[in-house]
Amino acid sequence: MYVRSEILDSRNIYQYIAKDKADHIATTVNNVILRAEVMNALIQDHNGGTEFFGAMAGVIYDDVYNQTGIKLEYIAVAPDGVITDIYPYSGHEDLIGFDLLDVTKPGNVQSKDAFESGDTVLTNYYDIKNNGIGMTAANPLYINNVNGSNFWGIVSLSCNPESLIEALKFDAFTDMGMNYRLSYIDSHNTKHLITESETPVKDEIVYQFNMYNLTWELSLCPDEGWYSYKNFLVVVIIFLCISGLISLFANMLLKIRETNHELWKISNLDKLTGCYNRRAYEEKLKDIGKEDKMCGNLVYVAVDINGLKKANDTLGHEAGDELIKGAATCLMNCFREYGNVFRTGGDEFVSIICCDEKTLEKCKNTLDRSINKWKGELNISLSMSKGYAPHYEFPDLSITELAKTADQRMYEDKRNFYVKSGQDRRGSR
């Protein structure tokens, strides 16, 4: 019974570790794919034009590497599915004119799925025209006009797999004596290996999580097995000889509880700011979605820091971290009494609160005053773009639709900020 209990506790701990690692993987991949949405927004702003591509693609390319450690194979835009612009151009010239909707070409079945479903999809690993093996995110773009939304084309980001594996930092598992295997399952229920430890996993715990169109699977196990029976014999002898082992056993249970608590903090709290992290945010959305009726006073607040990239580039990443922590402090001081504050990305925050219209206006004013009064050691000021979506204003929308509405209002606020301030949005973010 003792051995079974120890094994069960160990497996539960590994399950927590797997969940936390899956959250890290999802955050890393999402940080890359969000850049395709930035390119989509710019094309929307230019009414389908791509004249800015040459200048902006390099910024996105470097931004992905600086924030995630992932080196992109290329960034491409494909009006009507045909690639017209690509970055970097050198080494990828042959891809100009490549039709992403031609399902007879490698990797294109998923691009066709992106066009038909209107959702971002990840392709299986495939040979990128003699440029190595890659995984690509295909993001469809629809341009809004008087006749509705029309399909414009596809924004494609191809990731270097070796760089992706390195950015996911599985070496730490090896140093901790863990064996691992990361793979994904495609729409044909075929499993594809991404990376694994030198020693194969055995009797592993398996954690599955969904990202876009693929089901990902992370398997973990201790290198030396779940429990050493030699240790068990020692424990038996000590139990027979020393009655004081009861206190030691109680101490072991206390350490397990402390470990579980620390694992909960790792799984649910953002280390830099103390806010809830993206995993906790997604769990919150699931809980709200399960409720029969959404709280009538629910308000979804989307927030993005203005000028973070400029601070990182000119003052260093310590200055960028100072802005992020300052934003978190202002948001928690304002909204913590009414709900939760989540850090969902590098400079992106979400708050889900419950308050009436009068209280919401008070919160808005309090937040604005806090931002205006804030001053750091490396930064003299803090600026944030905000979007509010109260449920009582949009009673027929789901929580997901409220999130999209808040994001739209936040991006409108960001555009107004850069127009009023006269700053270059591409260089400031």
Residue range 123-176, pLDDT digits in tens: 765 544 444 445 778 888 888 765 666 888 889 888 877 888 888 888 888 888
Q: Domain check: are 388 and 318 in the same one?
A: yes
Q: Domain check: are 209 and 149 in the same one?
A: no
In a domain, 16, yes or no: no
In a domain, 282, yes or no: yes
Burial string for 402-422 (b: 16+ CB within 10 Å, else e) reads: bbebbbebbbebbeebbeeee
What mean pLDDT is predicted for residues 384-395? 94
Q: Domain check: are 92 and 70 in the same one?
A: yes
Domain interval for residue 307: 278-428
In a domain, 106, yes or no: yes
Q: Domain check: are 285 and 401 in the same one?
A: yes
CATH at residue 302:
3.30.70.270
What mean pLDDT is predicted for residues 252-257? 68
Whether residue 182 contacts residue 217, with contact meaning beta carbons closer than 8 Å, is answered with yes
Of 117, 137, 163, the domain-final residue: 163
Looking at beta carbons, which pairs linking 35-39 to residues 24 or more positions away fall under 8 Å?
A: 35/60, 35/63, 35/64, 35/75, 35/157, 36/120, 36/137, 36/139, 36/155, 36/156, 36/157, 37/139, 39/75, 39/77, 39/139, 39/155
Q: Beta 72-79 vs 298-305: how paired, if at all?
A: unpaired
In a domain, 255, yes or no: yes
Q: Domain check: are 292 and 229 in the same one?
A: no
Q: How many domains does the chain have?
A: 3
Tokens of 61: 């390319």
The sign of the CA dihedral 150, 152, 154, 155 is negative
107 pLDDT band, cuts 50/70/90, is low
In a domain, 17, yes or no: no
For residues 15 and 91, the model is more confident at 15
CATH at residue 37:
3.30.450.20
Q: Domain check: are 285 and 411 in the same one?
A: yes
What mean pLDDT is predicted for residues 216-221? 93
Q: Domain check: are 288 and 390 in the same one?
A: yes
In a domain, 228, yes or no: yes
Q: Domain check: are 73 and 94 in the same one?
A: yes
Nearest CA among 207, 202, 226 for reference residue 217: 207
The answer on pLDDT for 279 being more than 80 is yes
Q: Domain check: are 154 and 191 in the same one?
A: no
Q: Domain check: are 381 and 336 in the same one?
A: yes
The answer on pLDDT for 288 being more than 70 is yes
Q: Domain check: are 289 and 421 in the same one?
A: yes
Instruction: Fill in the DSSP letter of residue 244.
Output: T
Report the amino acid identity of residue 239. Answer: F
Of 268, 291, 314, the domain-final residue: 268
In a domain, 229, yes or no: yes
In a domain, 50, yes or no: yes
pLDDT-wise least confident of 29-33, 325-329, 362-366: 29-33
Partners of 145 in beta bridges: 148
Q: Domain check: are 378 and 292 in the same one?
A: yes
At residue 245, the pLDDT reads: 64
* CA 388 remoteness from chain centre: 22
365 pLDDT band, cuts 50/70/90, is very high
Of 142, 163, 184, the domain-final residue: 163
